[in-house]
A and B are shown apart, each in its own frame.
Chain A
Amino acid sequence: MAITREEVLHVARLARLAVTGAEADRLREQLSGILEYVKQIDRLDTRDVVPTSHAVEMGTPFRDDAVSPFGDREALLSNAPEREGDFFRVPRIIED
């Protein structure tokens, strides 16, 4: 199960990961190897099998839709790489 260099670059864009040319080549090789290995599961017939998303069976838990304020705004904002007053500051969103 080989994947192409173009696919690697496409997936890296989806994952918001900047990759260098050398990294893309290495990832192409390693991902192809791993995908080749995991494709073993294709040998199993799973047409009538129900997928598992949670291993322990449980219903959807409900709670009251009540607000509980966190309270410490400063503790949250003090982690910001860049802030302006009570806002997180980021580079421009609409690129030219």
Chain B
Amino acid sequence: MAIAPVHEWTLLEAARRVREGEVSSRELTEALLARIAALNPKINAYLTVLPERAMAQAAACDEERSRGTIRGALHGVPVGLKDIFCTRGVRTTCGSRILHNFDPPYDATVTSMVLSAGAVLLGKHNMDEFAMGSSTETSHFGVTRNPWDLSRIPGGSSGGTAAAVAAAMCFGGIGTDTGGSIRQPASLCGVVGVKPTYGRVSRYGMIAFASSLDQGGPITRSVADAALLLSVIAGYDRRDSTSVDVPVPDYLAAAGARVNGLRVGLPREYFEGGGLDPAVKASVERALKALTDQGATAVEVSLPHTSYALSTYYLVAPAEASSNLARYDGVRYGHRAEGSAGLIEMMSRTRAEGFGAEVKRRIMIGTYALSAGYYEAFYGKAQKVRTLIREDFGKAFGQVDVLLTPTAPTPAFRLGEKTDDPLTMYLSDIYTIPCNLAGIPGLSVPCGLSAEGLPVGAQLLANHFREETLFTAAGAIERAIPLPRVAPITG
């Protein structure tokens, strides 16, 4: 059997071959750097590429292996990180002009964990500015294009990571998800994306958007790859006060487990209404059939407060963002406006120049919702509705083990199609947002292609800290529905 080109290997395959000495880390890294050099000018998935650093890391891994030392599960395997994770000595922009020159003095915990597992860092991935967007079009550094069709968006906000993984410009990447920012681009780029339980992955050094919702997680070309990558980054971190100290189970074993007896819930609210594309609906039904064919049972359930999730999210997230983004004031790091007479003028002009339109809009909504006289009516009310949404899931998980839904209402849309109307753009996260409000884990797995040949993902949701159930169900869907792992790069 012919061996697939190096860049098309799964992360698991690449890791095994380096470990067993079938290939060197330098060969893998060179192949992927060549792939990035050829494709990144078209796709713009990477904001920063680190050829010298990556080759030096690869050489060190090869040298260590020759002495019999293996650092960890990712020894010598090239990966990328969303440009929201601080990387010591490597510019970290969060897709914003205000951080265009920020050189972090420390590594995020996710960065340290990936590096100590032996991974080679190829570079930093493009994203919507401060992770606020669903298309990667709000990046200050230009849009990322979908490798399945270059006239379309890759989704967002982790669009650079999803596009880089789909185009085989890395073996895997880490994104972040506040309202769907891992799962929605994974769905639109035909790859696997996991938003872990809130508190499962440390947020230390991950630039904050909405602190009660943000979680980092893997984006990969296979379910087993995602399981392996999550096992590398999950775990307690004393430097994140919301990190939860519970053991990390064997996710990789869960990805190969059987689904017979698994109770799969279909929340009826996610399939009603006119917004759901028929091709998406048909693909999700195919995913359900894959599960029931393998012995799972389907149960219809109700999450009655679903229609209030988007409103709740667009109060909670901007309120927290307006507070988190107050730190960008031109004093200690980042952009500063020139020629101001006083401090307040300097800060106001720095922020006006440094932030893009979507970030300003959300800071304004958040500041308004938290301002005197409005706090109870907006933020306070939204926090109560959040409780109702959380309780809906609690009741559903009394009846079923996992929920199956569409990840996004449509396949990838065209560049510029939704940039004029913020509310229309927000609706592309309608199925992913409730999961963040409830703090539960969610996963998107490819389950079909539309008539135009665009990827469609199915979303799986489980109860707090039940990521294994997601990997088991997603593994069963992946085995039953074979789809191309690497995007064809057309358009």
Interface string of B435-464 (1 = CB under 8 A from A): 011111000000000000000000000001
Interface SS of B by simple majority: helix
Q: A87 to B383: give the CA distance in the assembly, Å.
A: 41
Is B361 in contact with A18, judged by CB distance below 8 angstroms? no
Query: Would you list which residues of chain A between 30 and 88 have a CB under 8 Å from chain B?
Result: 30-31, 33-35, 37-42, 44, 46, 49-56, 58, 61, 63, 70, 72, 75-76, 78-82, 88
A80 touches B333 (CB 8 A): yes
Contact of B199 among A15, A56, A75 (CB under 8 A): A56
In the bound complex, residues from chain A placing their C-beta under 8 Å from that of B331 are: 80-81, 88, 90
Tell me whether B341 is interfacial, beta carbon within 8 Å: yes
User: Is B312 an interface residue, CB under 8 A from the partner?
Assistant: yes
Give B332's nearest chain A residue, CB to CB: A88
Q: What separation, in Å, do the CA atoms of A82 and B346 have in the docked complex?
A: 12
A interface: dominant SS: loop
Q: Which residues of chain A are within 8 angstroms of B8 by Cβ–Cβ distance?
A: none
Closest-by-CB residue of A relative to B307 is A40
Interface string of A1-22 (1 = CB under 8 A from B): 0010001100111111111000
Let me know if B314 and A18 touch, CB within 8 A.
no
Centre residue among B314, B332, B341, B349 by max chain A CB count within 10 A? B332
Measured between beta carbons, the chain B residues less than 8 angstroms from A37 are 310-311, 314, 423
Given contacts A38-B315, A50-B384, A55-B198, contact A95 B341 (CB under 8 A): yes
* A35 CA / B314 CA spacing, docked (Å): 9
B365 at the interface (CB under 8 A from A): yes
Q: Is B342 part of the contact surface with A, judged by Cβ < 8 Å?
A: yes
Chain B residue contacts of A42, Cβ below 8 A: 381
Q: Nearest-CB distance from A22 to chain B (Å)?
A: 12
Which one of B340, B364, B440 contacts A91 once the chains associate, using CB atoms below 8 Å? B340
Q: Are B363 and A90 in contact (CB under 8 A)?
A: no
B368 contact set on A, CB distance < 8 A:
3, 7, 11, 31, 35
CA distance A80 to B326 in the complex (A): 17
CB pair B352 A40 closer than 8 Å: no
**Complex Cα gap A80–B355 (Å):** 18
Q: With the chains together, A75 CA to B381 CA distance in Å? A: 43
Contact B388 A11 (CB under 8 A): no
B384 CB contacts on chain A under 8 angstroms: 46, 49-52
Q: Are B347 and A56 in contact (CB under 8 A)?
A: no
Interface size class of A (residues with CB under 8 A): 35 or more
B244 at the interface (CB under 8 A from A): yes
Judge whether B341 and A79 touch: CB under 8 Å. Answer: no
Which residues of chain B (384-409) have a CB below 8 Å from chain A?
A: 384-388, 390
Does B324 count as interface, using CB distance less than 8 angstroms? no
Could you tell me the distance between the alpha carbons of A76 and B102 in the complex, rounded to whole angstroms?
A: 10
B176 contacts A by Cβ under 8 Å = no
Closest A residue by C-beta to B243: A61
Counting CB contacts under 8 A, is B72 at the interface?
no
| B-chain residues with CB within 8 Å of residue A34 when the two chains form the complex | 314, 361, 365, 422-423
With a cutoff of 8 Å between Cβ atoms, the chain B residues found around residue A51 in the complex are 380, 383-384, 386-387
B323-340 near A? 1/0 per residue, CB < 8 Å: 000100111111110001
**Contact between A49 and B388, CB atoms less than 8 A apart:** yes
Q: In the complex, what distance in Å separates the CA atom of A93 from the CA atom of B344?
A: 8
Contacting residue for A79 out of B103, B346, B348, B386, CB 8 A: B103
Q: How far is the CA of A34 from the CA of B422 in the complex (A)?
A: 8
A8 to B331, CA, bound (A): 25
Q: 17 pairs across A/B with beta carbons < 8 Å?
A: A3-B368, A14-B371, A17-B355, A37-B310, A38-B311, A38-B312, A41-B308, A41-B311, A44-B388, A46-B381, A53-B212, A56-B198, A58-B242, A70-B106, A91-B345, A91-B346, A92-B341
Sample of 5 further A-B pairs with CB below 8 A, known A33-B423, A55-B212: A17-B355, A31-B361, A49-B388, A58-B244, A72-B105
- The 9 closest A-B CB pairs, nearest first, are A55-B439, A51-B383, A75-B105, A81-B336, A79-B333, A95-B342, A46-B384, A18-B352, A38-B311
